[in-house]
Structure 1
Amino acid sequence: MTLVGSIGRIVAALTALMVTTGITRAQDFNDYPTSARVEYAFGCLKANGETRQAIEQCSCSIDVIASLVPYERYVTAETVLSVSQVRGDMGGPFRTSEQAANALNELRRAQAEAEVRCF
């Protein structure tokens, strides 16, 4: 076996490894269902004006959030946000729970990062 043949095999193996890693990362990044991305973008558009620029910024924002917060934890944080707005005793545990606060803080940090990167 020649040196060129060995180098060619090494390059091919490294290329295959990089492609596999890229596919895995893309799957991790795209674990948010389209409906969740659209729902976020729709709310973002309502809050930031319904312009072409806002579409770009809002779609960028959910992409950044998706890269930082796994979908399962995003759902948890969104649920906490929604239920904590219920008045009285029903929403109390969601306003005072440490677990709920941690979920909200993670989402808020991701939203702050998205704000810096996209707006």
Structure 2
Amino acid sequence: MLASGLALGLLPFAALGADALADALNDYPTEARAEYVFGCMATNGQSQEALRRCSCSIDAIAGILSYEDYVAAETVLRMRQGGGERAAMFRGGTPVTMRILGDLRRAQAEAEMICFG
């Protein structure tokens, strides 16, 4: 039953072709994935095991959040680090920024359980 459900779910992509299907299922650019892995490895060690786990982590996050949502969350985090009036707007925690960051944190927590647990 699960396999047939999966097949039906992928049916709309069948007409796209292999390249379009890959793009639809993987909308994170390689550069974004590499940047995440480098940052993750800086925190978790520069080992082959850390590389494997960090790569798993960004793959898990990409399976949960669209790239657009990931970029929005990363932007909020970077803006919070700055100074001045603009950064204060992001540090204040509007409902929109709280939702964006909450989505990222949930994706990161799930990725940690899958890849580091």
Shorter-chain TM band: 0.7 to 0.9
Q: Displacement, 1:18?
A: 9.1
Tell me the distance in 2 between the aligned counterparts of 1:19 and 1:85. 40
Amino acid corresponding to residue 115 of structure 1 in structure 2: E
Match in the other structure for 1:104: 101
Are the aligned partners of 1:29 and 1:66 in contact in 2 as well (CA < 8 Å)?
no
- Say if 1:19 and 1:75 are closer, same or farther in 2 by CA, change over 3 A: closer
* Residue of structure 1 aligned with 2:14, choices 17, 20, 44: 20
Unaligned ranges ≥5, structure 1: 1-13
TM-score, normalised to structure 2, is 0.79
Match of 2:5 in 1: none
Taking the TM superposition and a 5 Å limit, the aligned residue runs for 1:58-73 are 58-73=54-69
Given the alignment of the two structures, is residue 48 of structure 1 paired with residue 44 of structure 2, yes or no?
Answer: yes
Could you tell me which runs of 5 or more consecutive residues in structure 2 were left unpaired when the two chains were aligned: 1-7
- Residue identity matched to 1:113: E
Contact between 1:61 and 1:111, CA under 8 Å: does it hold in 2?
A: yes
Mapped to 1, the partners of 2:36 and 2:58 lie a distance apart of 7
What whole-Å deviation, never above 9, does each CA across 1:76-118 have from its counterpart, x for those lacking one?
0000000011234221111222111111110000000000000
For normalisation by structure 1, the TM-score amounts to 0.78
Alignment of 1:72-91 (within 5 A): 72-91=68-87
SS at 1:50's partner residue? coil
Over aligned residues, Cα RMSD in angstroms? Answer: 2.4
* Code of the aligned partner of 2:105: R
Alpha carbons 2:13, 2:21 under 8 Å: kept: no
